[in-house]
Chain A
Amino acid sequence: MGLNFISSILFATVVAGTPLIIVALGELVTEKAGVLNLGAEGTMSVGAVAAFAVAHHTGNPFLGILAGMAAGILMSLLFGISALTLMANQVASGLALSIFGVGLSAFIGKPYESVALASVEPIRIPLLHKIPVFGPALFEQQGLVYFSWVLIVLVAWFLYRTKAGLVLRAVGESPVSAHSIGYGVVKIRYQAVLFGGAMAGIGGAFMSVFYTPMWVEGMVAGRGWIALSLVVFATWRPARVMIGAYLFGGCMIAQMFVQGSGVRINIPAQALSAMPYAATVLVLVLISRNRSTIRLNSPASLGQTFLPDA
């Protein structure tokens, strides 16, 4: 009984954390290039509805993911045109994108509100899923859960072990220097923005096709904003994004287990619900309390418009 509990908590934690990890890693890469895209919530919403529609019509959840990704790329392209080509304020462009995306998804999604989607069978990793406790929790998950783990490694490797990653970080640190030694700042920023959009789209697809297989307006319910703040609290480090996301998911699930246990504990339910937010902020602040590491990791030109010939 006790072990079963741990296994269920762990399982639910991983599921709850997955969309946050995917979206936050996309945003992390965008921000590392010096661009602050606050449009994650809207991009996720549009990704979610696109993925749901395609998965419904084709019956293929994988095509749904691709559609979510494509929709995310299109959304971030809008942001790119506004903030990078037309050099509008990044914060304003991102906020506008969020508001627009939430509304647009509601508009596109009207005909899909009455549609139920069959839930997708998880993928069992041979042998590993037989490990007691951890097997069923970690290795009987949806494909996108494994994808999120691979993504952490890939993003960390790309940023810190490849030349392209170094250039991207240089663009984020000092676009003027990067530009003066011949790198196309705007082009690199575009690529980073589109990657962020693609990941937000996939995160949305996870919500509507795998997590709760349905489409309803407002179903992303603020997860885009949580992902954005995770990037900051994780001080732009991929591994810390994962810690933060699982901590957040884990606290949410744990407080539900406490409530659902039927044991009488006199803590207000509101306080329990606030716990995931408080705990995540607290822990990530503690991890990154050293001010110099924050300064070291935060992209120096974050949010600043780059004028190539200024």
Chain B
Amino acid sequence: MKTRNLALATLAGAVLCSTALTAAEPVKVGFIYVSPVGDAGWTYQHDLGRKQMEAALKGQVTTKFIENVPEGADAERIIRQMAQDGNQIIFTTSFGYMNPTEKVSKTFPKVTFFHATGYKSGANMGIYNARFYEGRYLNGVIAGKMSKTNVAGYVAAFPIPEVVMGINAFARGMKSVNPKAEVRVIWVNSWFDPGKEREAAMTLIAQGADMITHHTDSTAVVQAAEEKHKEKGTWAFSYHSDMAKYGPTAQLSGTTHVWGEFYIRTIKEVLDKKWKGTNVWGGMKEGMIQLAPMSKSVPADLQKQIVKLEGEIKTGKLHPFAGPVVDQEGKERVAKGKNMSDSDMNAMNYYVQGVASAFPKN
């Protein structure tokens, strides 16, 4: 009797111990970044999300990141290394990691992978992305209302659908309040080259654009607008991060990515074993896209209007690509009364009306 009790007690103790152990053992979560974290930009926003998640799930997870990982063959080695090191959840945060992530995910079926901005998924590989275009549309509305020259300049990296979508959304927002508005685009063919980005911004300003925005990674465009603000009255909209620090007078607003809530939610799902494959494309409703705080130079009634439109985007009443959507050539892409489908948006390879530049054909 006594011995049985003892045995039971030991057993219970062992069980308790082991559960206590597993509870105390935090899950390792890894992140792969394409560029240095820095102080603003795409990777910086992901790292903010990582920190927020780590603080919220304190004790349950430990995180680790590797920055500046080139896309391509090298990425596979590093993702594999991360899985081998015992990371159970791995986020790969750039488009070019798609194939390597998929490959590694097949050899580590017990690890859960998440790839940002791609289109390949699997049993243990989820996809996530943000509806950047919602913020772009609202930025466009502000630009359309406040522009004196009716010209906006857009410094863009590469002509891929994600970037084109942003240009078109901005143009549609601008045109919705200003029929004379036009958007001019300069492609710098680089995600990150502050010198070139700056030159492109300066060129657009010299050619009459008084609203400037960018889809590149540095703060150079906002800084250029700040420099020319006094002389030319140039305003700027930041992208990825709030860059008000770099354009204290010139920045009116911007489109920012907020990944923290998504990371917290997803990791909880995986930890609770409730996760079953995700393809998350979140926008303002999910809080994954937010407007950078509007500066006091945006008139109060316009601020009110933007807040109202933001609410309408969240409820789905307003869709930046609600029909009719007509492209530059006059061809109708979406009929009146319909919204563009997600897959059509992700394959956008034309400019809408309101963009003045020619579409870069491949």
Q: Which A residues lie within 8 Å of B189 (CB)?
A: 269-270, 273
Does chain B have a CB within 8 A of A292?
A: no
Query: What range describes how many residues of A lie at the interface?
Result: 35 or more
Whether B36 lies near A218 (C-beta < 8 A) is: yes
* Residues of chain B within 8 A of A261, CB atoms compared: 184, 207
Interface contact A221-B190, CB-CB below 8 Å = yes
Please indicate the chain A residues that have their CB under 8 angstroms from the CB of B194 in the complex.
212, 214, 216, 219, 221
Chain A hits for B20, CB < 8 A? none
- Expressed in whole angstroms, the Cα–Cα distance for A49 and B49 within the complex equals 28
Query: Which A residues from 1 to 49 make CB contacts under 8 A with B?
Result: 4-5, 8, 12, 16
| Residue from A113, A207, A257, A262 within 8 A of B195 (CB atoms) | A207
Q: Are B207 and A266 in contact (CB under 8 A)?
A: no
CB distance from B1 to the nearest CB of A (A): 67
Q: Which residue of A lies closest to B151 (CB)?
A: A262
Q: Mark A211-226, 1 if CB is under 8 A from B, else 0.
A: 1111011110101000
> How near does chain B come to A50, taking the closest CB pair, in angstroms?
18
Q: With a CB–CB cut-off of 8 A, which chain A residues contact B362?
A: 268, 270
- Contact present for A256 and B200 (CB under 8 Å): yes
* Residues of B308-362 contacting chain A, CB below 8 A: 356-358, 360-362
Q: Is A252 in the interface zone, CB < 8 Å from B?
A: yes
A262 nearest CB across to chain B (Å): 3
B219 within 8 A of A: yes
Q: Is the CB of A212 within 8 A of B184?
A: no
Cβ-defined partner of A211 (8 Å) among B68, B195, B219, B357 = B195
Asked if A260 is an interface residue, CB under 8 A from chain B, the answer is yes
Tell me whether A253 and B39 are in contact (CB under 8 A).
Answer: no
Give the distance to chain B from A147, nearest Cβ to Cβ, in Å. 19
Tell me the bound Cα distance from A212 to B218 in angstroms: 11
Given known pairs A106-B36, A261-B184, the reply for A212 and B203 (CB within 8 Å) is no
Min CB gap A196→B, angstroms: 21
Proximity string of chain A (267-305) to chain B, C-beta cutoff 8 Å, 1 when within and 0 when not:
111101100000000000000000000000000000000
B191 → A minimal CB distance (Å): 10
A116 sits at the interface (CB 8 A): yes
Q: Which residues of B contact A218 (CB under 8 A)?
A: 35-36, 192
Asked if A58 lies at the interface with its beta carbon under 8 angstroms from chain B, I say: no
Closest to B197 in A: A212
Please determine whether A216 and B38 come into contact, CB atoms closer than 8 angstroms. Answer: yes
- Taking a contact as CB atoms under 8 Å apart, the answer to whether A268 and B360 are in contact is yes
Q: Is the CB of A252 within 8 A of B151?
A: no
Assess whether A268 is in contact with B223, with CB atoms less than 8 Å apart.
no
Complex: A262 Cα to B68 Cα, angstroms: 35
B-chain residues with CB within 8 Å of residue A270 when the two chains form the complex = 187, 189, 360, 362
- Give A8 to B209 CA distance when docked, in angstroms: 14
Given A213-B223, A260-B203, is A273 in contact with B188 using a C-beta cutoff of 8 Å?
yes
Which B residue's beta carbon lies closest to that of A255? Answer: B186
- For B38, B209, B220, the residue with the greatest tally of chain A CB atoms inside 10 Å of its CB is B38
Cβ contact within 8 Å between B195 and A212: yes
Asked if A113 and B39 sit within 8 Å, CB to CB, the answer is yes
The CA of A185 and the CA of B209, in the complex, are separated in Å by 56
B side interface size, CB within 8 A: 43
Q: Which residues of B contact A221 (CB under 8 A)?
A: 190, 192-196
Whether B203 contacts A253 by the Cβ 8 Å rule is: yes
B178 to chain A, nearest CB (A): 15
Which of B68, B185, B199 contacts A12, CB < 8 Å?
Answer: B199
Q: Give a binary string over A110-121; 1 marks a CB under 8 Å from any B CB, 0 the rest.
A: 000110100100
The answer to whether the Cβ of B245 comes within 8 Å of any Cβ in the partner chain is: yes
In the complex, the answer to whether B223 meets A214 with C-beta atoms within 8 Å is yes
Cβ of A264 within 8 Å of any chain B Cβ, yes or no, is: yes
User: Is there contact, CB below 8 Å, between B199 and A259?
Assistant: no
With a cutoff of 8 Å between Cβ atoms, the chain B residues found around residue A263 in the complex are 356
Indicate whether A265 reaches chain B with its CB closer than 8 angstroms: yes
Query: Which residues of chain B come closer than 8 Å to A211, judged between CB atoms?
Result: 195, 198
CA–CA, A265 and B219, complex, Å: 29
Asked if A260 and B200 make an inter-chain contact with CB atoms under 8 angstroms apart, the answer reads yes
A162 vs B206: C-alpha distance when bound (angstroms): 44
Question: Which residues of chain B are within 8 angstroms of A214 by Cβ–Cβ distance?
Answer: 194, 218-220, 223, 246
Is B218 a contact of A260 with CB atoms below 8 Å? Answer: no
Chain A contacts of B35 at CB under 8 A?
218
CA distance A272 to B361 in the complex (A): 12
Query: Distance in Å from the Cβ of B181 to the closest Cβ of chain A?
Result: 12
- Bound complex: CA of A279 vs CA of B75, how far in Å? 35
Given A116-B223, A214-B223, A216-B194, also A268-B199 (CB < 8 A): no
In whole Å, how far is B353's beta carbon from the nearest beta carbon of chain A? Answer: 13
- Contact between chains at A264 and B356 (CB < 8 Å): yes
Question: Within 8 Å of chain A (Cβ to Cβ): is B264?
Answer: no
The answer, yes or no, to whether B252 is at the interface (CB within 8 Å) is no
Residues of chain A contacted by B68 (CB below 8 angstroms): 217
Q: Which residues on the A side are within 8 Å of B360 (C-beta)?
A: 268-270
Q: Output the least CB separation between A47 and chain B (Å).
A: 15
B182 proximal to A (CB < 8 A): yes
Which chain B residues lie closer than 8 Å to A207 at the CB level? 195
Chain B contact residues, CB within 8 Å of chain A: 35-36, 38-39, 68, 151, 153, 159, 182, 184-190, 192-196, 198-200, 202-204, 206-207, 209, 218-220, 223, 227, 245-246, 356-358, 360-362
Given contacts A219-B218, A221-B194, could you give 14 more A-B pairs where the C-beta distance is less than 8 Å? A12-B202, A12-B203, A212-B194, A212-B223, A214-B223, A216-B219, A219-B195, A252-B199, A253-B199, A260-B203, A264-B357, A268-B360, A269-B189, A270-B187
The 10 nearest A-B residue pairs measured at CB: A262-B356, A269-B187, A269-B360, A264-B358, A114-B39, A8-B206, A273-B189, A256-B203, A221-B193, A113-B39
Q: Provide a sorted-by-A list of 27 A–B residue pairs whose CB atoms are within 8 angstroms.
A: A8-B206, A114-B245, A119-B227, A212-B198, A214-B220, A214-B223, A216-B194, A216-B218, A218-B35, A219-B195, A223-B195, A253-B199, A256-B199, A256-B200, A257-B203, A259-B184, A260-B153, A260-B186, A262-B182, A262-B207, A262-B356, A263-B356, A268-B362, A269-B159, A269-B187, A269-B360, A273-B188
